[in-house]
Amino acid sequence: MICGNGSIQARPAARGRVDAPTACSIGSPEQKNEQPVICNDTARLRALLAYDSFGIFVMLRALSPYRRDAFEFIEQLDRLPTPGHVLKAMERALGCFGFEGFILTGIDRERSFDRQVLASGWPAEFFELYTRNACIRFDPIARLCRQSAVPFAWSEACYARERDPRALEVMDMAAQFRLRRGFAVPIRGPDGYEAAVGMAGVEIELPPGSPPAIHLMSIYAFERVRRLCGATAGCKPPLTHREREVLAWAAHGKSAGQIGEILGITKRTADEHTQSASRKLGAANRTQAVALALRDRIIEL
């Protein structure tokens, strides 16, 4: 799918809004054949993204100083009439980090790639080569997207160069089209649907606070494109009052046990309401359910 075989180096943000961490390599496949050595800044980034058990509230706190940018991007999505407009909006919002090519697509290795793509901002020639050569089957980035639940830098998708030459071919080919380094956001559906939002460029800068913002913006962008493409079901069953209450408290970072105490119900009952709401919203987990409920204005912060 989306490939880049370099490392992401954090440098001072172009906006001058925050100081970036010390520049470091995140395991470039050109330097290592096996697992990368992840530097302290990368380890902190991964820990920051592992927020699922705390709900969307922790994610919103982590967005600063990009909270306003993320919310403004999300607010405009419902007014965008086509997947192409959504791609253009992503380019405007995320181009400042160095991203040039974007794609929103399924990642089933057994299906033809071009039949899974919802929106593509890849170079046309690269898209054709990727599809014709069935690169989805060998792409290490797509492979990690199927295994991971959290976003990651492309250089974290490790492979052994000698044992996996097809993966090396895919990444080298992508680099020829200025898709050298990037960021991937795995998307999960309740029925096992697997997809991803990918973005890449030549030189990528991800200052502190930007990865959670990119993650949230990607989730909303994917859902908007999926709706525009008719890939979601029509009407969703309404949430009950209790389901809305549980999601609202989850949005404020409350655990199932805490929600149970607040509402006078057991932790198990709170979990059941969350699971029911997730099924109705078509969400894979609690965090996604909260995000969708906020987007559809079912709940408010």
pLDDT of residue 74: 92
Q: State the SS3 of 145-193.
A: HHHCCCCEEHHHCCCCCCCCHHHHHHHHHHHHCCCCEEEEEEEECCCCC
Q: Return the higher-pLDDT residue of 231 and 135.
A: 135
Where do the domains of the chain lie, and which CATH numbers do they carry? 40-228 (3.30.450.80), 241-295 (1.10.10.10)
pLDDT of residue 63: 57
pLDDT digits (tens, 9 = 90+) for 33-90: 333 333 333 444 344 444 343 445 455 555 567 888 888 999 999 999 999 999 999 9
Residue 196 DSSP SS3:
strand
Place of tokens 């954090």: 10
| Predicted TM-score of the model (pTM) | 0.64
